């Protein structure tokens, strides 16, 4: 996920303080991995430099001065471009699991065991995500479903590969 463009998208809704922007990010996207304040403020500084946002001024109070930011027309254009540029599905067809499987076959190690271990890990993560969905807000359910569908695809690949291991091993060793 592109944190900079996500923050810029959040800022498209209304002018905001960095502190509030960070909390909005964490609310919608920070499950398990909140964004650091330092990352927010360095990103805001780069967006000002690139003229995607502007500071509206500072407010003094009991703590440090607070700056309010708003998106510029260039920033709005950048958000629209980002929104409607499709993401390339699985840019890399060769995941770490794929590499481990091939190496296990090439060195005559137990590829079946490797796939079983990975299957158990995937199933455990599926149980975690399914549990998270119980009584969750719609946004969290959407996020969990996204993860679950990816895990299901990996599990289908693991099952298919397990069924083909003997043939794959023979082909790799004869190559």
* Amino acid 139: pLDDT: 92
**pLDDT the model gives residue 59:** 72
Candidates 12, 36, 4; CA nearest to 23 is 36
Asked whether residue 88 is assigned to any structural domain, the reply reads no
CB 70 within 8 A of CB 64: no
Q: Considering the domain boundaries, does residue 89 fall inside one?
A: no
Q: Could you list the residue range(s) of the whole structural domain that residue 108 is in?
A: 96-174
Contact 32, 60 (CB under 8 A): no
| Whether 108 and 155 share a structural domain | yes
Q: Can you give the pTM of this predicted structure?
A: 0.70
Residue 74 belongs to domain with CATH number = 1.10.10.10
pLDDT tens by residue, 53-99: 999 977 766 656 688 999 999 999 999 999 988 777 766 666 788 88
Examine the domain organization and report whether 57 and 128 are in the same domain: no
- pLDDT, one tens digit per residue, over 35-58 is 899 999 999 999 999 999 999 977
What is the Cα 169 distance to its own chain's centre? 34
Residue 90 belongs to some domain of the structure: no
Confidence of residue 142 (pLDDT cuts 50, 70, 90): very high
């Amino acid at each position: 996920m592109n944190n900079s463009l996500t923050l810029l998208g959040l800022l498209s809704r209304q002018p905001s303080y960095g502190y509030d922007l960070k909390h909005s990010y964490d609310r919608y996207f920070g499950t398990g991995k909140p964004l650091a304040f330092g990352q927010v403020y360095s990103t805001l500084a780069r967006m000002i430099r690139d003229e995607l946002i502007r500071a509206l001024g500072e407010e003094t109070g009991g703590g440090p001065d607070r700056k309010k930011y708003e998106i510029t027309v260039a920033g709005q254009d950048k958000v629209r471009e980002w929104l409607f540029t499709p993401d390339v599905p699985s840019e890399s067809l060769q995941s770490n699991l794929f590499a481990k499987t091939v190496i296990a076959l090439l060195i005559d190690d137990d590829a079946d065991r490797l796939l079983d271990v990975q299957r158990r890990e995937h199933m455990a993560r599926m149980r975690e995500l399914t549990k998270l969905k119980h009584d969750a807000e719609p946004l969290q359910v959407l996020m969990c479903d996204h993860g679950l569908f990816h895990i299901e695809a990996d599990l289908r690949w693991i099952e298919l590969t397990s069924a083909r291991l003997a043939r794959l091993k023979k082909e790799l060793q004869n190559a």
